[in-house]
Structure 1
Amino acid sequence: MADAAKPQEKAPDKAKPKRGAGGLLLAVGAFIGGAAAGGAGAAMALTAFAPHTAAPAKGAPAAPSPLEYVEIDNAFTSNLTDTGRYLQLRIAVSTTGGAPVVAALQTHKLAIVSAVLAVMGDLGEGDIADSGAKTKLKGQLREAIDGVLKQKAGGGSIDEVFLTSLVVQ
């Protein structure tokens, strides 16, 4: 009976292998390596297919500023040369010249108003009769405004003139 009181020792279970710290490190290392490889592949794909936005080389022209619209808040009124009628215009301009051109348009507004009125003072009814004539008028106004910017501001230009209101009475 002495044997019954003595607890029996268990034999180690040989069917289940023990995992040590080395096995765990190997699994974590494999996971990290796979994630790094996947990340590197994604980075390579992004650089291969994404548009390049590197800075322009020295001497290369800078990218143009975004298109901006500036309304010239003045009603321009002038008599037509060949009739007793008068013409009233409101205009706006667009520019990709950026802040310097927008500031120059505001600073030299009085000179711009004078230049626009000078162009209008030479107009007859035929100069605004149809869309082709109005397109020609917009070109003349653009040249006049660009002339003011060149003379008064030392440069800069507008891209286009828009007739926002045109009344003949």
Structure 2
Amino acid sequence: MSDNNPEEEEKPKKKKGKMKGLIIGLLVVAVVGGGGAAGGFYVAGSMGGENVEPEDPNKPKIVLKDGTEVSEREAKTAMPSENENKFKVTYHQIEQPFTSNLSHSESFAQMSLAISTYYDERVFENVTEHEIALRSAVLLELGQQDPIELETPAGKVKLKGKLRDVINATLKEKAGFGGIEDVYFTSLVIQ
């Protein structure tokens, strides 16, 4: 019996040794393969960034505070931190006021707007060129507003955001580029 026992004991040890070697081998393959795949994705991502299409020369440029005009790609490296704004803000007053009836009421609103951008004067040239389409879009948005909501500060802020989005969408449709950063009420009367 003692002859049989050592052989039986050796067999399980060999199985454990083979199993341990197999597990270690699989782990090494997984780590090396995963590292190779991660490296491949990193290199592919890095190379993919270099093949970006050139920017349209007719697209407005972002203006830095020192007056330098840069492309959007260059501006991304100069993006402002929360405490510091490196871009020059330019404002434009829309001359004629907007007057519209408000949704589901006998009330109406009259407002005057100004807009701002970090881009060059081409944005405001587009605003002037497409003013009729912009006025129509703003009036349609204004006519959908609830007069009770517009009486609150939060309602006014919400309307500002909607007007900015409507103006940018109209400019993108008509001129191929939006560029409006913010909308400002220079007067707002709700009756």
**Unmatched segments (≥5 aa) in structure 1:** 1-52
Q: Paired residue for 2:74?
A: 61
Would you say the 8 A contact 1:97–1:156 is kept in 2? no
Q: How many pairs are equivalent?
A: 114
Q: Deviation at 1:102?
A: 1.4
Larger radius of gyration: 1
Which of 93, 100, 111 in structure 2 is aligned with 1:78? 100
Within 2, Cα distance between the matches of 1:66 and 1:76?
A: 28
Instruction: Classify the secondary structure of the residue corresponding to 1:145.
Output: helix
TM-score, L = length of structure 1? 0.62
% identical equivalent positions: 37
Q: Deviation at 1:127?
A: 2.8
Spell out the pairing of 1:1-169 with structure 2 (5 A cutoff): 60-62=73-75, 66-169=88-191
Quick one: structure 1 residues 99 and 82, their matched pair in 2 at CA, closer, same or farther if it must change by over 3 Å? Answer: same
Would you say the 8 A contact 2:169–2:178 is kept in 1? no
- Residue identity matched to 2:137: A
Would you say the 8 A contact 1:89–1:167 is kept in 2? yes
Q: CA RMSD in A?
A: 2.4
Q: Paired residue for 1:10?
A: none
Would you say the 8 A contact 1:96–1:159 is kept in 2? yes
Instruction: Classify the secondary structure of the residue corresponding to 2:92.
Output: strand
**Unmatched segments (≥5 aa) in structure 2:** 1-65, 79-85
Within 2, Cα distance between the matches of 1:90 and 1:163?
A: 6
Determine which structure has greater relative contact order: mean sequence separation of CA pairs < 8 Å that are 6+ residues apart, divided by chain length: 1
